[in-house]
Chain A
Amino acid sequence: MNNTLFGYKQRHTWLNQTTGTAKLVGFLALTSIGMLSYDTRFLLGLGVLAIALMRSAQIKYREYAFMLKLVLIFAVINLIMVAVLAPQYGVQLYGTRHVLIGRGYWALTQEQVFYECNLLLKYLFSLPLAIILLFTTNPSEFAAGLNKIGVSYKIAYAFAITLRYIPDVQRDYQTISLAQQARGYEISKQATLWARSKGAVQIILPLVFTSLNRIDTISQAMALRRFGREKQRSWYQEQAFKNRDVIVILGALVVVGVGIGLLFSNHGRLYNPFHTS
């Protein structure tokens, strides 16, 4: 059946060959500066860069379609919530008020629309970067990368081992779900929501118990091979730093530099097209 590791596949692109550490540092640098900045031009630039990188990583649309849809749904909900909960935040930020429709507190302003467009841009540039990081990095190497930039190796390993057992838990889930349907719980789309949710509970219980058993065995197997004995551990999948990695990190730093430069030239995080003095 499906044997890819959560999207990771061996592809022969330069992004695949870059070490996990370099990609992780680059990802963190670009997303941090992108989250900090509200300069629309800069965010657009990041978006273009992210999409260009995505192309050169040769990841196919159907591989990340589900993730993309999930993030878009989340983004839209987020944008609506911002519009509902803080409809005048844009006005407050940019200091001007150009009403598009409506009036009073609930009026939709150009400033609000512009602000939310910036938010959307943040989603749009960070998602491709995250996809590249996950899809081009071997999970163990990724864990090694996390460990290298200072995350405790126990936490980093927890990440890798989660990916190791996801296919097993998925399989357990499917088996249990089918067995419970055979017993008579309706989980298929024909049944009412109530019947389906009752059926779902019947899956969770055995799944939790089998998973707990599994975790028990895993932790024993790890303890029996001295996991956690030393303060540090080495990583089989760790890659040596090459020139390419230095270039990736330098490139990321240049982009960060541009972002910081813009912070100064804009006198703050905002790029304000409404400012007319």
Chain B
Amino acid sequence: MTTPIIDLQHVTFKYHAQAEPTLHDVSLQIFPGEKVLIAGASGSGKTTLLRLLNGLIPHAYTGDLTGELTLNGRAILDQTLSELSLQAGTVLQDSDAQFVGLTVAEDIAFALENDHRPVAEIKQAVATWARRFGLGARLDLTPQMLSGGQKQRTAMAGVLVDDGKLLLFDEPLASLDPAAGWEAMTMIDGLQAARDLTVVIIEHRIEEVLRANVDRMIVMSAGRIVANDTPTAILQAGILPQYGLDEPLYIQLLRQAQVDVRQLPDVADVQRVDVAAHATAIAQLRVPIQPSVHTQPQLQIAHLDFQYDKNQPLFEQFNTTIHQGEILGIVGKNGSGKTTLSHLLTGFLMPDAGDIQLDGQSVLSQSIKTRAENIGYVLQNPNHMLTKSTVYDEVASGLVLREVTTDEIETRVRAVLRLLDLDEMRNWPIAALSFGQKKRVTIAAVLVLSPKILILDEPTAGQDATHTQELLTFLTKINQQEQVTIVIITHDMHLLANFVQRALVVVDGQLLADTTPAELLADEALVKAASLRTTSIYQLAARLQIARPEELNAAIQQQTHGYNKV
């Protein structure tokens, strides 16, 4: 029997700052050459577990720890962070913040520089690893010039340059668009095989991680390991939803078609699972898609020109119309102008030429403050928006600054808080909120000004299945009850396929398509240009030769909406 590379026995850990342990009696073993997915909803303890493996606990975070932890047969606690780092390389979640070098080359070289190795040797190693990760031509680029995927590849090269055998990934998909995420998973799979690595991936997006052909899945919930088995066995057992995790979309579809997943072999691989017998049942789930009925123009963007740099125009003669009451998605690869477009709408940036009209009136002469009263904008990072100490004050501040009477403020703030299910938390300190709750507070703070249009930048980034579902419920409510037009900038395929009514594909300042999500996802060239990736439903439909897979998406949409009402 082989000895495990990682061995945890009865580990319980409590952060000093917290009253309750974050991990309870965790025991697990990971063997050389395995690819293991550690999955769990927010707050399940999966990040804490990773910190135990790479030594950040106890070296950077202190707390009370009991149990046995060994890495390569030696107690983790007896080793320094440096010793551990030579055995286990960590790729952190935020690929931008962990990029410590001024350029790609220096970032890859960082660990070797710290080992005081000769410069000639470092240069050789950097060249080799950069080539392996397709970064050979980008050695001199700064992180500001790289895409998320390139930054993550730099991080991987910077860790593997040590020739370590164990790689730990903390939410590798979080800062990537779907196409880059798919590539990253493919790369991890290939790398593991080629270099005989052991790989541990912490993620909650199971659909995408299965692409890396993981051997084992460890499911965590409330600080405990609740399942530890092959992906097939775990999917057969159907336990993921009860722990706040989304099953892969094709599995959701199979369940809806009454396929008995419990005995289905190869159920974790959408390319191999044998469901040919159920093709008819699955095809019958198709729901005709209702075309969007919104035709009343609300916001018109006409002949818009904009450039950051004199020689690089981004938008040239950009035209589009946003309709009253619709849910619009703006998609496109990173750095192609989506956020710039929203900044032009909110007045954060001024166009060089052209006009933006709201209900027939140009908004260009309005200040940012005035424009915010009609076009609300929720930033991706809630920490960029929150400045007050309590939920109530935060939501009220926009009204206070507009000199609304105290009584009216009270009424409006409470109404918005109730709408977003925050009323009971109105006196909570902001600091005590989770990321998802903070996000909701920022939406409330924008919504309290009663904007006609609400723009959200990546609203589901960093949120697990439960929180995403909650958010969509609120947005639906706002859209239907308050007739607020919703514009979402996103790469979230689930959001795009199941929530958005109309999609704009913006790539390099060009409006490549103005279409329904279904048609967008059916068009392979467009999907590629927008750096998206069709979901497993499309793969399953292709195998079963079911036409119009978008109508299968709609089936899942109905199911989720049903779930909302419960």
Determine if chain A interacts with chain B. Answer: yes
A contacts, CB < 8 Å to B: 1, 3, 5, 138-140, 160-161, 163-164, 167-168, 172, 175-176, 178-186, 188, 190, 202, 205-206, 209-210, 213-214, 217-230, 232-238
- Of the candidates B98, B123, B343, the one whose C-beta lies within 8 Å of that of A218 is B98
Contacting pair B90 A226 (CB below 8 A): no
Contacting pair A236 B81 (CB below 8 A): no
Q: Which residues of B contact A237 (CB under 8 A)?
A: 106
Contacting pair A226 B115 (CB below 8 A): yes
Contacting pair B383 A206 (CB below 8 A): yes
Q: Which residues of A contact B102 (CB under 8 A)?
A: 5, 138-140, 160, 163-164
- In Å, the complex CA distance between A221 and B143 comes to 15
Contacting pair B111 A225 (CB below 8 A): yes
Contacting pair B113 A233 (CB below 8 A): yes
Q: In the complex, which of the residues B96, B347, B383 has the most CB atoms of chain A within 10 Å of its own CB atom?
A: B383
**Is B110 engaged at the interface, CB distance under 8 Å to the other chain?**
yes
Q: Which residues of A contact B115 (CB under 8 A)?
A: 226, 229-230, 233
Q: Which residue of A lies closest to B377 (CB)?
A: A182
Q: Tell me whether chain A's interface is mostly helix, strand or loop, or mixed.
A: helix
On whether A202 and B387 interact (CB within 8 A), knowing A184-B372, A224-B90, A225-B85, the answer reads yes
The interface stretch among B395-403, B412-420, B469-477, B531-539 is B395-403
- Chain B 86-102, CB within 8 Å of chain A: the 1/0 string? 10011010101111111
Tell me the smallest distance from the CB of A7 to a CB of chain B, in Å: 13
**Is B322 engaged at the interface, CB distance under 8 Å to the other chain?**
no
Contacting pair A236 B372 (CB below 8 A): no
Contacting pair A235 B114 (CB below 8 A): no
Contacting pair B397 A183 (CB below 8 A): yes
Q: Which residues of B contact A213 (CB under 8 A)?
A: 383
Q: Which residues of A contact B110 (CB under 8 A)?
A: 222, 225, 227
Contacting pair B100 A182 (CB below 8 A): no
- In Å, the complex CA distance between A1 and B112 comes to 31
On whether A221 and B398 interact (CB within 8 A), knowing A140-B106, A230-B114, the answer reads no
**Is B428 engaged at the interface, CB distance under 8 Å to the other chain?**
no
On whether A206 and B369 interact (CB within 8 A), knowing A184-B401, A218-B97, the answer reads no
**Is B116 engaged at the interface, CB distance under 8 Å to the other chain?**
yes
- Of the candidates A139, A222, A236, the one whose C-beta lies within 8 Å of that of B126 is A236
Given A178-B343, A179-B384, A236-B119, 12 more A-B residue pairs with CB atoms under 8 Å apart are: A1-B308, A3-B144, A167-B144, A168-B96, A181-B372, A182-B346, A184-B398, A188-B367, A221-B98, A225-B159, A234-B113, A234-B117
- Chain B 118-146, CB within 8 Å of chain A: the 1/0 string? 11001100100000000000000011110
- Of the candidates A161, A175, A181, A223, the one whose C-beta lies within 8 Å of that of B384 is A175
**Is B26 engaged at the interface, CB distance under 8 Å to the other chain?**
no
8 A-B pairs with the lowest CB-CB distances in the bound complex, closest first: A184-B401, A221-B98, A182-B372, A217-B97, A225-B111, A236-B109, A229-B82, A181-B368
- In Å, the complex CA distance between A168 and B381 comes to 14
Contacting pair A229 B114 (CB below 8 A): yes
Contacting pair B119 A235 (CB below 8 A): yes
Contacting pair A206 B387 (CB below 8 A): yes
Contacting pair B100 A222 (CB below 8 A): yes
Q: Which residues of B contact A190 (CB under 8 A)?
A: 367
- Of the candidates B99, B114, B126, the one whose C-beta lies within 8 Å of that of A226 is B114
On whether A236 and B123 interact (CB within 8 A), knowing A176-B384, A206-B387, A224-B90, the answer reads yes
Contacting pair B106 A232 (CB below 8 A): no
Q: In the complex, which of the residues B60, B106, B387 has the most CB atoms of chain A within 10 Å of its own CB atom?
A: B387
**Is B445 engaged at the interface, CB distance under 8 Å to the other chain?**
yes
Tell me the smallest distance from the CB of B199 to a CB of chain A, in Å: 16
- Of the candidates A138, A140, A175, the one whose C-beta lies within 8 Å of that of B379 is A175
- Of the candidates A228, A230, A234, the one whose C-beta lies within 8 Å of that of B118 is A234
- Chain B 239-273, CB within 8 Å of chain A: the 1/0 string? 00000000000000000000000000000000000
Contacting pair A209 B126 (CB below 8 A): no
Tell me the smallest distance from the CB of A189 to a CB of chain B, in Å: 11
Q: Which residues of A contact B387 (CB under 8 A)?
A: 180, 202, 205-206
Q: Which residues of A contact B142 (CB under 8 A)?
A: 3, 5
17 intermolecular pairs with C-beta atoms under 8 Å apart:
A175-B379, A182-B369, A183-B372, A184-B400, A184-B402, A186-B369, A219-B60, A224-B54, A225-B110, A225-B114, A226-B82, A226-B111, A229-B115, A234-B118, A236-B105, A236-B126, A238-B119
On whether A224 and B85 interact (CB within 8 A), knowing A230-B115, A230-B116, A232-B116, the answer reads yes
Q: Which residues of B contact A180 (CB under 8 A)?
A: 385, 387
Tell me the smallest distance from the CB of A203 to a CB of chain B, in Å: 8
On whether A223 and B116 interact (CB within 8 A), knowing A183-B372, A229-B82, the answer reads no
Tell me the smallest distance from the CB of B104 to a CB of chain A, in Å: 11
- In Å, the complex CA distance between A184 and B446 comes to 11
- In Å, the complex CA distance between A266 and B81 comes to 59
- In Å, the complex CA distance between A218 and B155 comes to 13
> Which residues of chain B from 333 to 371 have a CB within 8 Å of any chain A CB?
343, 346-348, 367-369, 371
Q: Which residues of B contact A186 (CB under 8 A)?
A: 369
- In Å, the complex CA distance between A230 and B397 comes to 51
- In Å, the complex CA distance between A223 and B55 comes to 10
Tell me the smallest distance from the CB of B509 to a CB of chain A, in Å: 15
Contacting pair A226 B85 (CB below 8 A): yes
Q: Which residues of A contact B343 (CB under 8 A)?
A: 178
- Of the candidates A140, A183, A226, A228, the one whose C-beta lies within 8 Å of that of B445 is A183
Contacting pair A183 B401 (CB below 8 A): yes
Contacting pair B379 A179 (CB below 8 A): yes
- Of the candidates A172, A176, A218, A232, the one whose C-beta lies within 8 Å of that of B100 is A218
Q: Which residue of B lies closest to A173 (CB)?
A: B384
Tell me the smallest distance from the CB of A219 to a CB of chain B, in Å: 8
Contacting pair B145 A3 (CB below 8 A): yes
- In Å, the complex CA distance between A17 and B114 comes to 25
Contacting pair A234 B144 (CB below 8 A): no
Q: In the complex, which of the residues A184, A209, A225 has the most CB atoms of chain B within 10 Å of its own CB atom?
A: A225
> Which residues of chain B from 34 to 79 have a CB within 8 Å of any chain A CB?
54-56, 59-60
Q: Which residues of A contact B159 (CB under 8 A)?
A: 225
